[in-house]
Structure formats: structure tokens, C-alpha cells
Structure 1
Amino acid sequence: MDGTLIDSTPGVYKAWETFASDYSLGDFREVAHATHGRRLYDTLKELCKIQEEEQLQTEIDRFENEVILGGPMPLPGAKELIQNLNSLDGAKWTIVTSASNKYAPRALEKAGIPVPKSGLITANDVAKGKPHPDPYLAGAEKCLVNPSNCLVVEDAISGLLSGRSAGARTLAVCTSTQRSILENEAKPDYIVTDLTSVSVKLVEKKLQVTINDV
């Protein structure tokens, strides 16, 4: 979601700047880059050394509220693609995000992107977050589709690795990470500049994805 469908960079940077100061984490930009695509539950626990569950949930809420205040915006082609997907009766798709179940719907609404009819897979729905396969295995299960018949669309290395380890094919968008880095570290099956190069239609009850990246 973040970095693939919506640009939440200003809010994420502001939140990490606050947390880097509060927890002496060093350069907040480096922290934001290193943790991109992972669950806050994992990164705050790891970096901020928060072990108490109630405090961890409180800090997740505080972080995500700062991101929302930053005003997430739709990335190029995202709104059109999601609106098209939602209009296709019988299309099997969902959003698989490392964000929490509190933040994800609020961020999508703020960016003007509709929630999938199937609902979402969030950080709260899996035991292990990206780059583990659990999130995309849960996404495939929600869609009632074998993971090998799924296409994972991601901007983050951790997300692409998660999709690959789940057994899906992967499509990388270069909206947050350089193309060369994505190609070398995530080795996606397909790669595009952004979602304006991607279109979908329903063919015999299956999604046909067309990629036209110049």
C-alpha cells in the first residue's frame, strides 16, 4: 500500500524523525529507508527495544497518526487501477500491507483510494510480516487462489521477497526504490516505473494484467 498505491513519505519521515529523537536511533532518513515495507510492530520492537505489548501498540498508534497527519497522496495510476479492479465483478484481488488495521483504511480514504471489496490483509492478520511469506499467503487465501497463480505488486524489497517466497510472481514499481536496486536485490519477474503502465481486465473469470512500460 504505502509506496505502491499511496505516497506517505512526508508523514513517514516526520514520524521517524520524532521516534529517532525519542529513542536515539540516529539519522531518521536512514532508519526510514532500512525499515521500508516492514511492519511497525517488528521495527519498533527491534529498534526501539519495546517489549511491553501495551506500550508497543500505543507507539504504533502514535507513529501512524503522524503519518496520517502528513497527508498520504495517491501515486500515479493507483486510483485508476484500484477503481477499475473494484468495478470488475468477480475479480480476485486484495491489498496486502504491513500497516495496521487502524491505519490502512484511514490512509486509503485520505488518499481517495477505495478499499477492496474483499477487505484487507494488514499487519494484525499475520504472525510474521514481510519479508516472510505469511502476508501474501494470507492474501492468496483471502482471494481463494493458489499463490502460484497470483501476481504481487510491490515497491519495497521486503514486499517483493515476501511475494516471491509465497510462490507468487512479482511486479516491482520504481516509486520508492531505484530500478537497479530492485532488480539486483529483489529480482522481480516484471518491473515498471509506476502503475500508469499497468492495466487490468477480466477474461474468463481471471484477471488479465497488461504491462506497457516505456
Structure 2
Amino acid sequence: MTIHAQALLFDNDGTLVSSLDSVERCWTRWAAEYGVTDEYARVELHGRTAADIVADLLPAHLVPEAVARVEQLEVEDVPNGGVRLLPGTAALLDALPAERWAVVTSATRRLAEARLDAVGIRPKTLIAADDITRGKPDPQPYLLAARRLGVDPARCVVFEDAPAGLRAGHAAGMTTVALATTHPAHELDADLVVPDLSALSVLVTDHLMEISARR
């Protein structure tokens, strides 16, 4: 399958980098601090903003303080080696013009920049939880990224590992590529499903990017 696009929009955690160990450490500690360990085990975490997750677990008046606490824990954990590049990330991003791709993450800007900087990724365009009022699976984050890049959403391709993010990409009217890095392939509803970014090649021309699955 070959996909043509004018802009590529990448989720971060589970797509460009893996921070699963860090997330597990920090959220487990956070849940214990707030006395919601059992409830935390039943909540869908991946691909959603911390504010949405916390709102499922705590009364509204505690949410701002609790979100700030988990952000603090995760930022402080970055130097502990909890972030690593996933296969294919560096090669693919190095092949792209800076003005034709963006990172669209459910993390806060502070946390996203800490994780990206730790692995040497410095996107020209970054959409974070601070920039939106409705997180994935709502399409708002991806539509904002398309607007910032000046590209019709229909000419954008979303790269995601989480069902919530894929639903956001579909709702935005974008082509979706799923990476089976954190969920089994059969759980991922996308136009194309691959193991990770190393399974893809990209050809850049003046007007389009051609993305293909390697044979």
C-alpha cells in the first residue's frame, strides 16, 4: 500500500518513543499517593490526556492539583532512562522537511518536550495537551496540527499506536497508520497497520510525500 500526503502527524509515546516503563512507575506511585490504586488499574490510560484520566478517578476539585503532581513525577523520571527511541523513528524523521510534520501528543508541553529532548527530537510544530480543550479521541488535536501546518486535513496522515488516537485521526478525516508497538494489530483500526516505523519508507518530493510499507 502506498499513501500520499502533504503532512505527517505523529503521536509521541508508543509511536516515536517508548516511555512505558516511566509511565508505569510514575502513575503507580501517583495512584498510591491518591488512594486510587484499584480504580487506576481499570482505567484506559494510553493515548489520553492526564487531565481526562485523572478526571475519571478523582473529584473535580482535586483534578488540577493531581494533574500537576503526575506531570511532576513524569518529568522528574525522564533522566532515569525511561524514554527510548522506537525502531525507525530517527531515520524517518531525518528524511522529512521540518515544516511538513508535527508531533501531536496527549502529554503536556512540558513533559513532551522533556521526553523528546531526551532522545534528540526537536519538532518545529508540537501540539500538546496545553493547546487543546478536548483530547483524543476527539479530533481537535489533529485538526489543530493541520491548521498550524497549513494543510487540508484530508491530505494529512496520522501515525498512532493507540485506539484513542486512531479514532481521533479518523474523526479528523485523515488517513491513519497504526503501529503495533503497544497494542496487538487486531485491536488497531487503521488504513494501514505495521509493526513500527522501521516498516515504512518515505519518498519526499516538492509537493507530496509518498509513504510505503517495506516489502
**TM-score scaled to structure 1, two decimals?**
0.86
Match of 2:103 in 1: 95
Matching residue's letter, 2:200? V
Match of 1:156 in 2: 162
5+ long unaligned stretches in structure 1: none
Separation in 2, partners of 1:154, 1:16: 22
Match of 1:47 in 2: 57
Match of 2:95 among 73, 76, 84: 84
Match of 1:177 in 2: 183
Q: 1:77 to 1:31 in 2, by over 3 A?
A: farther
Match of 2:202 in 1: 200
Separation in 1, partners of 2:19, 2:42: 15
What do you get for the CA RMSD once the two structures are aligned?
A: 2.1
Q: 1:66 to 1:78 in 2, by over 3 A?
A: same
Q: 1:57 to 1:47 in 2, by over 3 A?
A: closer
Match of 1:140 in 2: 146
Instruction: After superposition, give the CA deviation of every residue in 1:152-207 in whole Å (9 maximum; x if it has no partner).
Output: 0000000000000011010000000011111xxxx200000111011222223222
Q: 1:29 to 1:58 in 2, by over 3 A?
A: closer
1:10–1:67 CA contact under 8 A, matched in 2: no
Look up the SS of the partner of 1:36 in the other structure: coil
How far is 1:67 from its partner? 4.5
**TM-score scaled to structure 2, two decimals?**
0.86
Separation in 1, partners of 2:205, 2:42: 43
Match of 1:116 in 2: 123
Match of 2:6 in 1: none
How many residues align? The count is 203
How far is 1:56 from its partner? 4.0
Look up the SS of the partner of 1:115 in the other structure: coil
2:54–2:67 CA contact under 8 A, matched in 1: no
Match of 2:47 in 1: 37
State yes or no: 1:73 paired with 2:84: yes
Q: 1:10 to 1:31 in 2, by over 3 A?
A: farther
Look up the SS of the partner of 2:159 in the other structure: strand
Look up the SS of the partner of 1:94 in the other structure: strand
1:175–1:194 CA contact under 8 A, matched in 2: yes
Look up the SS of the partner of 1:10 in the other structure: helix
Separation in 2, partners of 1:109, 1:44: 26
Separation in 1, partners of 2:72, 2:42: 17
How far is 1:44 from its partner? 1.3
Matching residue's letter, 1:135? P
Higher relative CO (Cα under 8 Å, sequence separation at least 6) belongs to 2
Look up the SS of the partner of 1:151 in the other structure: strand
Instruction: After superposition, give the CA deviation of every residue in 1:36-57 in whole Å (9 maximum; x if it has no partner).
Output: 0000011112213352565145
5+ long unaligned stretches in structure 2: 1-11
State yes or no: 1:9 paired with 2:20: yes
Matching residue's letter, 1:2? D
Q: Which has the higher strand share?
A: 2
Matching residue's letter, 1:154? E
Match of 1:168 in 2: 174
Separation in 2, partners of 1:153, 1:58: 28
Q: 1:54 to 1:178 in 2, by over 3 A?
A: closer
Quote the sequence identity (%): 33
1:15–1:66 CA contact under 8 A, matched in 2: no
